[in-house]
Structure 1
C-alpha cells in the first residue's frame, strides 16, 4: 500500500443541517460540494438519516450526478446504518463507497464502531449484497485491533476508524499521544489483514498531521464538523485547501 496520506472527503451534513433550519434552499449542499471539489477535495460524504434532519433523500441523486460530472477520480461516499431503506437508497444512487455504521436512528452523530463478533452474519450478508452491486464497502470500527479479523472475513474492503477518542484529547498532549498510539496500532493490524483504512470524526487542522505521520497508509479522511467551522473563517475553498495540505505526508 503506497503511503501517500489520506484523501479528503468533505462531509456536507453540517451544511445540509444549516439549510434545514429554514424553509429555504440555501446554503445549497450541491453548490458547496462543487466548491469543495474544485478546491481539491477528493470526494463528498453524506449520512442520510431516517428523519432527514441532515442530508435529505432528495439530495442524493443531485450529489451523485455532481460528483460523477466532476471527474478526475472524485468519489461519492454514503454512510449509514444498513437498514433495508438505507440499502435501497444506496443501490438507487450508486456511490463509489458505502460506509456502514451501527448508529441508532436517534443518535446525533456516529460515536462507536460495530461489534463485529455479534454482527458477523448480518455484515457478511450485507457486504456481499453491496459488493455484488459493484460498490466498495467500508465498516465503521472502534480504534482497537479487536474484531478486525472478523471485519476482514465479512469481505469488506476497508474499515473506517472512529477517531472521536483521539479528537477528544485536543487539550491534553499526553492523552493525544496515547490515543494516537492506540489508533495507529489498530490501523497497522487492519493493513496486516489486507483491509484499507479510512478515518473520521473530530479530525482538525491541528490533529491531522500527527495522525498522517503515524498512519501514512490511510486512504481517506471524512471530515465535516471542523472543516465547516473553519470555513466560517477561511471560506469553504480555503478550508478545503488547508485540510488537503494538513494531510500531506511530510
Structure 2
C-alpha cells in the first residue's frame, strides 16, 4: 500500500500573513507541491485566520478541481457550526475533526471518544451525507476500546497524533517506544475497520520507521517540517524527498 502525502499549507500562509502582501502565494506553492507528486493539500482554518484565510479555500478548491482532479483537499478543524458550514461550501474530499480549542497554536491531543461519541456521531453523519470522508484526530494510546468508539461514530479514518513521536527526535529509545504505541493504536484501528492517517512533526528522518511499522498507513499530512525543508531544498525537491520517505 502506498502512503499518500498531503502537504499542509498553514506554515506557508503564516509566513505570507506577516505582511500585507500576496506572497508567498499559498496556491502557487500548493501547485508546485502537487506538480512534484503530492497527493493532496491540507489546511486548518482557524476563526482568527492567523494562517489560512477563508478566502484561500475556494482558490485551493479550484486549483485541485481545474488542474489536479486526482488530488484531494483535506480541511482540518474543530466542528463548530461555522466550521461545518464552511466545509459544506467548499466540499473537501476529507474533513479531519480535531478537539483543540480554536485559540490553540496547534493541535496537541486527540479526542476522548468515550466523552464525545454522542457529540461526534451526528456531525460525522452530516458530513458523510455530503460525500466527505471523515477522519478523527486520535491519541496514540493503544486503547482498542477507544478506537472502536471512533469507528462507531461512522468515521472512515482516524488520524494518529504523532507529536510525541516527532518530539523524541534526539532520543532514539523514547522514539522507539512512541513508535510502538502508534503501531498498536493503528493495529487496533485496522482491526475494527478504520483506515489510518497520521500527522504532526513528521520529517524525512522519522517517516520511514513509521511507514515500516504501519505499512497500511493511508496518508500523512505534513506542514511544519516540510515547509522548513522547503526553505533549504525548495518546495518541489522537498516534496520528492518526503514522497521517498513515505516509500513512494
Cα distance in 2 between the residues matched to 1:145 and 1:90 = 30
Q: Which residue of 4, 7, 21 maps to 1:7?
A: 4
Partner of 2:229: 230
The alpha carbon displacement at 1:106 in A equals: 1.2
Partner of 1:217: 216
Partner of 1:103: 100
What 5-or-longer segments of structure 2 have no aligned partner? none
Secondary structure of residue in 1 paired with 2:236:
helix
Cα distance in 1 between the residues matched to 2:69 and 2:54 = 26
Whether the 8 Å contact between 2:34 and 2:68 is mirrored in structure 1 is no
Cα distance in 2 between the residues matched to 1:200 and 1:70 = 26
The alpha carbon displacement at 1:72 in A equals: 5.2
Partner of 2:25: 28
Secondary structure of residue in 2 paired with 1:117:
helix
- Number of matched pairs: 246
Runs of 4+ residues deviating >6 angstroms = none
Q: Which residue of 55, 59, 62 maps to 2:56?
A: 59
Partner of 1:151: 150
Whether the 8 Å contact between 2:201 and 2:222 is mirrored in structure 1 is yes
The alpha carbon displacement at 1:99 in A equals: 0.3
Q: Which residue of 14, 18, 31 maps to 1:17?
A: 14
Cα distance in 1 between the residues matched to 2:92 and 2:68 = 14
What 5-or-longer segments of structure 1 have no aligned partner? none
Matched, 1:90 2:117: no
Whether the 8 Å contact between 1:39 and 1:240 is mirrored in structure 2 is yes
Cα distance in 2 between the residues matched to 1:181 and 1:67 = 35
- Root mean square deviation, CA, Å: 0.8
